[in-house]
């Protein structure tokens, strides 16, 4: 079990608060949306720390157990908010918007809302169209898509290691993810919205957090 990191949890809370205050139009917080990026980095750090702790304790990583933990943590609250939003929208929104909202609910259930909003061309920051009441789910979609692949990449890195203490193969794999993803952000795209919502252009942020967690383990092992 990983010791609860109140400092990291506090940083996540500050990141979320910065985004909320940005959308509320609080003066002086025009860059508050960077809280999303901070949240992704912190999430990468926390999840990697959990996986490293499991590997250290049991000698292996159970992908099934990982996904089960994620489902228990995310699904109940995610479903509750989505259903409550759908009910409130049915009461207050105009009928023409309800059909697209139903599509958004389905996308939320499939953790693919970021692709739906990218395909729709919903400019998160400057759109003149009314935003979807579920538009904030795009970041959860990116997070879950990354975690669908990331644990398997870490497990591959550990499988390639000669000893259970070696982290270098995993570090190299995560570094490749970070460099590849960040490179994609520098390539002009025909769809700026896809660049904003895509897990491929956001993966480097999770990977930076993962590298910090892996580097901490490597430094600790070297000191022993």
Write the CB contacts of 132 (distance below 8 Å, at least 6 apart in sequence).
Answer: 100, 101, 104, 117, 122
Which residues, other chains included, contact 69 with Cβ-Cβ below 8 Å and sequence gap of 6+?
none
121's torsion region: left (phi>0), alpha (psi -120 to 50) or beta? left
Whether the pLDDT of residue 118 is over 80: the answer is yes
Q: Can you tell me the mean pLDDT for 76-101?
A: 84
CA angle (84, 88, 90) in 5-degree steps: 120
Question: What gap in Å lies between CA 181 and CA 37, rounded to an integer?
Answer: 14
Average pLDDT over residues 189-217: 87
pTM recorded for the entire structure? 0.86
Among 143, 147, 148, 77, residue whose Cα is nearest residue 113? 143
What mean pLDDT comes out for the span 44-56? Answer: 90
What's the average model confidence in pLDDT over 102-109? Answer: 88
Q: CB 129: neighbour CB atoms within 10 A?
A: 10
- Residue with the two structure tokens 């270098």: 168
Q: Which of 70, 213, 75 is nearest to 154 (CA)?
A: 213
């Amino acid at each position: 079990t990983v010791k609860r990191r109140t400092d990291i949890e506090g940083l996540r809370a500050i990141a979320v608060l910065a985004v909320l205050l940005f959308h509320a139009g609080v003066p002086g917080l025009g860059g508050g949306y960077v809280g999303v990026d901070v949240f992704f980095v912190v999430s990468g750090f926390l999840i990697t720390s959990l996986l490293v702790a499991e590997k250290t304790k049991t000698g292996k990583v159970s992908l099934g157990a990982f996904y089960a933990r994620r489902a228990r943590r995310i699904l109940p609250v995610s479903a509750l908010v989505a259903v409550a939003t759908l009910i409130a929208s049915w009461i207050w929104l105009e009928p023409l918007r309800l059909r697209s909202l139903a599509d958004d609910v389905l996308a939320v259930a499939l953790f693919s809302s970021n692709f739906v909003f990218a395909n729709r061309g919903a400019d998160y920051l400057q759109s003149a169209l009314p935003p979807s009441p579920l538009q904030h789910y795009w970041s959860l979609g990116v997070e879950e898509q990354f975690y669908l692949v990331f644990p398997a990449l870490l497990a591959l890195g550990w499988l390639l290691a000669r000893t259970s203490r070696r982290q270098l193969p995993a570090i190299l794999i995560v570094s490749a993810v970070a460099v590849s993803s960040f490179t994609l952000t520098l390539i002009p795209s025909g769809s700026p919205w896809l660049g904003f919502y895509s897990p491929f252009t956001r993966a480097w942020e999770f990977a930076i957090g993962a590298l910090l967690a892996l580097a901490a383990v490597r430094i600790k092992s070297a000191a022993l």
